[in-house]
Amino acid sequence: MPAPESPLIIALDYADLGAALQLADALDPARCRVKVGKELFTRVGPVAVEALHRRGFQVFLDLKFHDIPNTVAGAVEAAADQGVWMVNVHASGGRRMMEASAERLAKRGLETHLIAVTVLTSMADGELQETGVSGSALAQVERLATLTLESGLDGVVCSARESARLRELCGAGFLRVTPGIRPASAGQGDQRRVMTPDAAMAAGSTHLVIGRAVTQAADPMAALADIERTLARRS
Ligand code: C5P
């Protein structure tokens, strides 16, 4: 499978496989990766991943596992056995949960990247505090990213607003996968900690997750081409 140079990961957030594959068939696996999330996977299952692999895509299986260590390690292993490029857990599941997952992959020699969600990009400080976390989203992201690094994972899902700080804190090689990406012309929807694609790359994101800005655009391929042009102007 080709490894695209592009940092773009297109979120195939659809309720049926036909719609997801329709967009995938318009995309080029040499120019982006794709993400299968909870909605599509819950409806369709591993068939979605297989269909995308057959088309040559590297797949990020974004199921954000959060459970006891043994259960999450088993789920991560099951994802890696499907040959996905990346899978994730919630860092708030704790050190033992993350270590068990990383150890399981290492023991099996599976090369799937394992990353952890720090704080959802849909959450701002006030909403986070309602869940019992005192302090800012940034402080919580820093705490969970450090824990993720110490637990042996490859990187985090965070907001691009936190990428620069996490590059400094966790090192350049630690992946910073950032959803909440919104081209200047798009609305923010339910996301709160958002950034434009070029600003996110400038801030130190290693990968950009882009969903509705492409999938809900009147012309998805034109929207994607616009984003690619913005990024090309940077390099
Ligand atoms: O449509 P939009 O670009 O907001 O989609 C973002 C995608 O990234 C969704 O699939 C969402 O589930 C995912 N995601 C997120 N925030 C995280 C982790 C994943 O928005 N912290």
pLDDT in tens, 126-182: 999 999 999 999 999 999 999 999 999 999 999 999 999 999 999 999 999 999 999
> Which pLDDT score is estimated for 195?
92
Active-site option among 16, 25, 28, 62: 62
174: in domain: yes
For this structure, is 67 an active site residue? Answer: yes
> Which pLDDT score is estimated for 193?
78
Report the number of distinct structural domains present in the chain.
1
Q: Is the CB of 157 under 6 A from ligand 1?
A: yes
96: in domain: yes
187 assigned ligand-binding residue: no
> Which pLDDT score is estimated for 2?
57
Structure tokens at 150: 């110490």
For this structure, is 154 an active site residue? Answer: no
182 assigned ligand-binding residue: yes
Residue nearest to atom 13 of ligand 1 (CA): 179
Q: Is the CB of 120 under 6 A from ligand 1?
A: yes
Give the CATH number of the domain where residue 207 resides. Answer: 3.20.20.70
Task: Tell me which residue range forms the domain holding 221.
Answer: 8-234
166: in domain: yes
Distance 188 CA to ligand 1 centre (A): 12
> Which pLDDT score is estimated for 186?
72
Instruction: Encode the chain in three state secondary structure.
Output: CCCCCCCEEEECCCCCHHHHHHHHHHCCCCCCEEEECHHHHHHHCHHHHHHHHHCCCCEEEEEEECCCHHHHHHHHHHHHHCCCCEEEEEHHHCHHHHHHHHHHHHHHCCCCEEEEECCCCCCCHHHHHHCCCCCCHHHHHHHHHHHHHHCCCCEEECCHHHHHHHHHHHCCCCEEEECCECCCCCCCCCCCCCECHHHHHHCCCCEEEECHHHHCCCCHHHHHHHHHHHHHHHC
10-residue mean pLDDT profile of the chain (235 residues): values are 84 97 96 97 98 98 98 98 98 98 97 97 92 94 98 97 97 97 81 89 97 93 94 85
Q: Which atom of ligand 1 is nearest to the CA of 38?
A: 12
81: in domain: yes
For this structure, is 62 an active site residue? Answer: yes
Active-site option among 28, 64, 125, 226: 64
What is the value of pTM for the model shown? Answer: 0.95
1: in domain: no
3: in domain: no
Pocket test residue of 121, 161, 185, 212 for ligand 1, highest count of atoms within 8 A of CB: 121
Distance 209 CA to ligand 1 centre (A): 7
